[in-house]
Amino acid sequence: MTRSLLFLLFFAGVAFAVPAAEAADPELSSALSSHDSKAIMSRFKTLAEDDPETAAREIPAAIARIEGADAEEYHVQDRYQVFKRAISVLSRMKSQKANEVLRKQVKSAKEWPARVVALHSGLQNASLDGVNWSLEALADQAPEVVQIAARALGFSKQALAIPGLIDAMKKWEKSDTREKAGRKGKKGRSTIAADAAGRVWLSLRDALERLTGESLHSAVGYETYYRAHRDKIDPANVDLSKRKESTTGLGLFGLELTGKNIAFVLDVSGSMMSTDPLTPAQIAKLRRSTGVAGDHSLEEAMMEDRRRIIRAKKELGKVIDGLSEDRNFNVIAFSTDVTSWQKILVSADKKKRKDGKAFVEALEADGITVTDWALSEALADPKIDTIYLITDGAPTHVGLTGSGLPPDAKSLMDQILKETQAVNHLRGVRIFTLGFEGAEEGFLEKLSEQNGGKYLRIE
């Protein structure tokens, strides 16, 4: 277990702090009382097969109880596996009455984790109207439910979802909506709810970008665009892979910066000393200068500028310089170990931007690539909404021992994907990944896809 995952286990155990209610089904109640995840999952399956209507009531309530339990009662992976099993068995039920009960759970279950698992289950069932379920869920008071609905609608390719998303975005732009969400709950829930309320706006914005192809940053902006172009918008043909000009004025290697509470996670392993080929523009400049004294030094300077660590530091320095003061940020560098500039996110005021840039400028490349530790460090901050991971290699704790990947790279990549899903499936922290040549693109693409972000290849 990685060092920062210990914090995440605690976080997962207190985040939801819902009252524990006894299950009406005696066997399920017994399994919940003993915190036996295997018995719970087994009972979920049996209930769904033997008594679907009871399953539609009891399973979401059980998830709410589990998510409200203290950290020591369930391992974070057990919570996630039980959550996945609940969705799996509920989404396969064929009973129309059971599905009607499930839809009522989405609308009116007392605790939001119950509403979340019911909504997920409806979305996984192809025979149910997931778009309408999600549109209705946009009115939920819990930001976590709205996040799930927004993401589902963003991938729906349905233009009819756009007005509902815009209305929800308007609602969550209001400070009183966020404050109201933050005031609910006990045992530390209020602070975590306030952080979740901050993340929901980004989920709505991202969904609207997926449906319209436009990266805008206010509900009014999307409303104006929709009114002017509603007859031309075709979500099925939106291509988000195309690079476009940043509407925020900030971007990492062309990837627009959209978060409010951001961790920049930078690989400073030895491979980052590698030099990328010159760009066509640089080659043309060299050719134009042929025969002029100092050509050799010009080429050397260009090659040095193409060193990955230098490129990353320059790019990150520009971004930090351009951060507005309403943003919070941190920089986490990793190689053989992890070095965080700050313990937690800090406001991007003038002094912090200056200090953050100085930290980045002083970084040197050396060592191996403990990507798992770095991501755990970033996710350990409960306020975070977005991670930008810049790397050029595969995760490893031992380094290269021959040709190909390090011997532990595949298992570490699998572990990172698994652990990140387990701690992030109800939080919704977006993870964007950027890879230089040599990065494990398949892994980075999957990490971003599973966590609401996107992957960018650094040319």
The 3 state secondary structure assigned to 55-108 is HHHHHHHHHHHHHCCCHHHCCHHHHHHHHHHHHHHHHCCCCHHHHHHHHHHHHH
Please give the DSSP secondary-structure letter assigned to residue 237: G
Q: 3-state class of 330 per DSSP?
A: strand
Which region among 159-163, 246-250, 344-348, 448-452 has the lowest average model confidence (pLDDT)? 246-250
Q: 3-state class of 57 per DSSP?
A: helix
Please give the pLDDT value at position 73: 94
Q: Provide the whole-model pTM.
A: 0.90
CB 405 within 8 A of CB 394: yes
pLDDT band at 195 (very low <50, low <70, confident <90, very high): confident
Please give the pLDDT value at position 209: 97
Please give the pLDDT value at position 184: 60
Q: Taking the domain 5-237, which CATH number applies?
A: 1.25.10
Could you tell me how far CA 344 lies from the centroid of its own chain?
A: 18
Maximum mean pLDDT: which of 13-17, 240-244, 303-307: 303-307
Task: Give the rounded percent of residues in the chain with a pLDDT score beyond 90.
Answer: 78
- Candidates 328, 330, 327, 334; CA nearest to 263 is 330
Which region among 202-206, 302-306, 316-320, 411-415 has the lowest average model confidence (pLDDT)? 302-306
Q: Would you give the end-to-end CA distance of the chain in angstroms?
A: 34
Q: How far apart are CA 250 and CA 318, in angstroms?
A: 8
Q: Which residue matches tokens 């509902």?
A: 164
Please give the pLDDT value at position 38: 97
User: What are the tokens at 33?
Assistant: 């009382």
In the chain, the largest separation of any two C-alpha atoms, in whole Å, equals 88
- Candidates 111, 132, 49, 116; CA nearest to 84 is 116
Q: Across residues 392-417, what is the average pLDDT?
A: 94
Torsion of CA 229, 232, 237, 242, to 10 degrees: -40
Please give the pLDDT value at position 247: 60
Could you tell me how far CA 456 lies from the centroid of its own chain?
A: 15
CB 143 within 8 A of CB 181: yes
- Record: fold of 251-457: Rossmann fold (3.40.50)
User: What are the tokens at 323?
Assistant: 């951060």
Position with higher pLDDT, 302 vs 7:
302
Q: How far apart are CA 77 and CA 60, in angstroms?
A: 18
Please give the pLDDT value at position 299: 81
Residues 356-404 have pLDDT tens digits of: 999 999 999 999 999 999 999 999 999 999 999 999 999 999 998 878 8
User: What are the tokens at 370?
Assistant: 């403990």
Please give the pLDDT value at position 15: 45
pLDDT band at 159 (very low <50, low <70, confident <90, very high): very high
Q: Is the pLDDT of residue 289 over 90?
A: no
User: What is the 3-state composition of the chain as percent helix, strand, coil, each rounded to the nearest 5?
Assistant: 55, 10, 35
Across the chain, mean pLDDT equals 90
* Inter-CA distances, 36 with 19, 41, 73, 259, 283, Å: 19, 9, 9, 38, 64
Q: Across residues 105-131, what is the average pLDDT?
A: 96
CB atoms within 10 A of CB 83: 20
Q: Over the range 17-52, which residues count as b (16 or more CB within 10 Å of their CB) and which as e?
A: bbeeeebebeebbebbeebebeebbebbeebbeeeb
* Inter-CA distances, 1 with 359, 360, 374, Å: 29, 28, 13
Q: How far apart are CA 429 and CA 173, in angstroms?
A: 18
Q: Across residues 120-136, what is the average pLDDT?
A: 96
Torsion of CA 364, 368, 373, 379, to 10 degrees: 50
Question: Hey, where are the domains in the chain?
Answer: 5-237, 251-457
CB 56 within 8 A of CB 98: yes
Residues 6+ positions from 134 with CB-CB distance below 8 Å: 119, 123, 148, 149, 150, 152, 153, 156, 161
Residue type, 424: N
SS3 per-residue string spanning 151-210: HHHHCCCCHHHHHHHHHHHHHHHCHHHHHHHHHCCCCCHHHHHHHHHHHHHHHHHHHHHH
Residues 6+ positions from 49 with CB-CB distance below 8 Å: none
Which region among 56-60, 289-293, 429-433 has the lowest average model confidence (pLDDT)? 289-293
